[in-house]
Homo-oligomer: A and B are copies of this chain.
């Protein structure tokens, strides 16, 4: 029925839709779940890693989280090779800004730059959209901690907490129930892991199946927030905590970082 319109990014359907962009979104709905949320003094991104076997060398590359600059990192969902290309562009944009102006790039400015690139792939002939969505976590002097979502169309939006990928709707509804303003870092980490484990298809995952990162000032209190990857043992602690709570729902005693 919609056959005539759906094979090019340069063709609107009769209802004003761009089917190629919508099909690219399908690639993202099949990707692993990723959660992002703001807390009182940081931004957290947590992701479910792709199925790993004993032989995959997971120690060397972060599968889902990428550091872009000292004040920004991101999580990706979709076609990995497309993501690698865009992440290279992100790093380039951030470094070029630092080099030209001598200071870190504003987070939204950065997001707009990468979204304009994405948009151009939906309007010119002989191209396909990037099959990638991002969650950008960043901090700048103007707007503090920020969390953005971008999709293959080049749209972006600011969030307090959101999720992308497989079962993201279930995760978003959990976040709507449990996220509130002013969460401490520990509470937020606990919530991120909880949402991931409850929304994944598998039963309780192991710590090496999750990847968690945070942008904060840390315990030592640095000048500006820094990106920090949470260690596997720490993730295991949180997982245990989440598991404990889900049995004894009353007590909510988050562990200390």
Cβ of A241 < 8 Å from any Cβ of B? no
B residues less than 8 Å from A116 (CB atoms): 84-85, 88
Cβ of A228 < 8 Å from any Cβ of B? no
Would A7 and B14 be within 8 Å (CB), given that A55-B179, A84-B119, A146-B57 are in contact? no
Name A112-153 residues within 8 Å CB distance of B: 112, 115-116, 118-131, 143, 146-147, 153
Cβ of A236 < 8 Å from any Cβ of B? no
A9, A23, A57, most chain B CB atoms within 10 A: A57
Cβ of A104 < 8 Å from any Cβ of B? no
- Which residue in chain B gives the minimum CB-CB distance to A10? B128
- Which residue in chain B gives the minimum CB-CB distance to A23? B12
Q: How far is the CA of A103 from the CA of B118 in the complex (A)?
A: 34
Cβ of A186 < 8 Å from any Cβ of B? no
How many residues does chain A have at the interface if contact means C-beta atoms less than 8 Å apart? 77
Pick out which of these stretches binds chain B: A24-32, A214-222, A242-250. A24-32
B residues less than 8 Å from A124 (CB atoms): 126-127
* Copies of the protein in its oligomer: 7
Q: Is the CB of A79 within 8 A of B125?
A: no
- Determine which of B56, B79, B131 lies in contact with A158 in the assembled complex, contact meaning CB atoms within 8 Å: B56
B residues less than 8 Å from A60 (CB atoms): 108, 143, 146, 158
Cβ of A204 < 8 Å from any Cβ of B? no
Cβ of A93 < 8 Å from any Cβ of B? no
- Which residue in chain B gives the minimum CB-CB distance to A58? B158
- A-B pairs with lowest CB-CB distance, top 8: A125-B126, A16-B26, A81-B154, A16-B27, A57-B158, A12-B23, A81-B119, A10-B128
A–B complex contacts, Cβ < 8 Å, 17 sampled: A3-B4, A11-B20, A12-B128, A12-B131, A14-B26, A16-B28, A16-B30, A18-B128, A55-B172, A55-B175, A57-B147, A60-B143, A60-B158, A84-B112, A84-B156, A88-B116, A121-B123
